Structure 1
């Protein structure tokens, strides 16, 4: 059995990392990052901060002015806002229009990156569900969905259908994706499930017990894999109902696990 490393005591020299979201009860990043800090004997801690959309700009602005804050993680629903507030952005952030991690640069500016997509695809491949040459249906064109869409195309998915009720958001994402991977993305207001090999829920639906389903499981084609990006609860209603119908399922926590090495490199954690 692997023992958990003892936590580094918090002191006046501790470097701070935060994860911003609304809600934050479901976030799993502190459970991964704080043990990483402890294993590397780093004087740092990651804490969740519950930030409502109406206060996000002020909270973000306040955090960037705190001298011992080195990193900001961002979760639902703030990823597009984080991209807007960043001083500099990676090419992936420019394509997706969203960010899920920002670091303080040597000059004090904040640089934004998005690891949702690469984390999701890494987890998918490690679980044996490689998207290469597969038809993928993605539900949700928000911050995480946009990043996952780009990563799936970069991983050579043969065809990607994306649906979202927000036509303007969907159209903007389609234009950005088509500029890099022409002719492989198709969009609609309703999920295009008919011939999908992999179906992905990239919406927040499932965070709460009374959320509606993002799509009807009885419409899923036989043999497809059903993936959810929601990490808590681990077994969302969607995954339970898909599994009951005989589909293979892929849990949201794999997306975070697939991002850990990227976070370590991005923040220079050794």
Structure 2
């Protein structure tokens, strides 16, 4: 937070997670806010699973707290605390941003998936017509799967050891108004989103780790990159460490890789709109204004 000045008028945003040592939002967003002339700071707040509802309601009753960012493991649970869900949060059942509306109601939305797809596009990767394998049906995985379908991916095969969580996500993606599955997709894997089968990893054009695996050194790999096609992109949503064990292994095997930080970097435009931050940098202060 070098260069960030805090005063009695400073507005606050909290990143809620457990753990929070891996979060990258403060180091990315605090310089952005300073450059935009917004007197606000983003701070990490470690919150245990059982305390989430109390912490969210308490923080959002603090007058100078304007919003929350949410990371693992709270992206699904925070939806139950919110009064209203945005379109992406309603489809995925998860959220990564919460704001207080003028009437005091809490609105939650999820920008992970949109940030992920925009990150792929910025790297020159189109998802239209692609076969994508996604490991993880939780907060990030659900958002990524929904956004991939909305961006035109032909098939999104999702794998998760929690069968109930996976089934719930696929059911939400199949609802009217959501990115829809074509008939037969869930049974035959011909189109839309479906539970991954044995051959989906090897057939995919893009493979994504959308699970927390890789945040800790002792974590196993979410999938074997040696089973991925040599020309397929291996992507990770884990942001810290930057070079996860999965990406290191995939790169050593010659697979192209895509880092997790791109998902966060490409959500900034959405955060600006959601939280009401200005789009352009603030004009320099007048040197003769008498202010220091």
Give the alignment's TM-score, normalised by structure 1. 0.95
Which residue of structure 1 aligns with residue 51 of structure 2?
Answer: 55
**CA distance in structure 1 between the partners assigned to 2:244 and 2:58 by the alignment:** 35
* Structure 1 residue runs of 4 or more that deviate by more than 3 Å after TM superposition: 188-191
Q: After TM superposition, give the deviation of residue 46 of structure 1 in Å.
A: 0.6
Secondary structure, in 3 states, of the residue corresponding to 2:222? coil
Within the candidate set 185, 198, 212, 2:206 is matched to: 198
In structure 1, the partner of 2:101 is 105
Q: Does the 8 A contact of 2:133 with 2:196 survive in 1?
A: no
Does residue 93 (structure 1) correspond to residue 89 (structure 2)? The answer is yes
- How far 1:49 moved relative to its partner? 0.3
SS at 2:107 equivalent: strand
Change (3 A) 1:191 1:40: farther
**Partner residue in 2 for 1:16:** 12
Q: State the distance in 1 between where 2:2 and 2:215 align.
A: 30
User: For the aligned residues, what is the CA RMSD?
Assistant: 1.5
- SS where residue 247 of structure 2 aligns? helix
Give CA deviations for 1:81-140 in whole Å, capped at 9, x if unaligned. Answer: 111110111111110000000111111111111000000000011101111111000000
> Could you tell me how far 1:14 is from its partner in structure 2?
1.2
Tell me which moved more, 93-102 or 218-227.
218-227
Partner of 1:252: 260
Q: Which residue of 2 aligns with 1:174?
A: 170
* Correspondence for 1:241 among 249, 272, 291: 249
Structure ID, larger Rg: 2
Q: Which runs of 5+ in 2 are unaligned?
A: 183-191, 279-292
* Alpha-carbon displacement from aligned partner over 1:6-54 (angstroms, at most 9, x marks no partner): 42x2122111100001111111111121112111221111100011112
Is the CA contact (8 Å cut-off) linking 1:137 and 1:198 kept in structure 2? yes
Q: Which residue of 2 aligns with 1:213?
A: 221
Shift of 1:189: 7.6
Give TM-score, length-normalised by structure 2: 0.88
Contact conserved, 1:138 with 1:191, CA < 8 A, in 2?
A: no
Residue matched to 2:156: 160
CA offsets per residue over residues 150-188 of structure 1, 9 Å max, x none?
000000001110010111111111111122312211104
1:131 maps to which of 127, 132, 140: 127
Deviation at 1:5, TM superposition (A): 8.8
Q: CA–CA distance in 2 between the matches of 1:133 and 1:61? A: 42
CA deviation map 1:185-225 (0-9, x unaligned): 11048783021000000000000111111011221122110
Question: How many matched pairs?
Answer: 266
Structure 1 unaligned blocks of 5 or more: none
Rounded to whole Å, the distance in 2 between the matches of 1:25 and 1:193 is 31
Whether the aligned pair in 2 keeps the contact of 1:163 and 1:191 (CA below 8 Å) is no
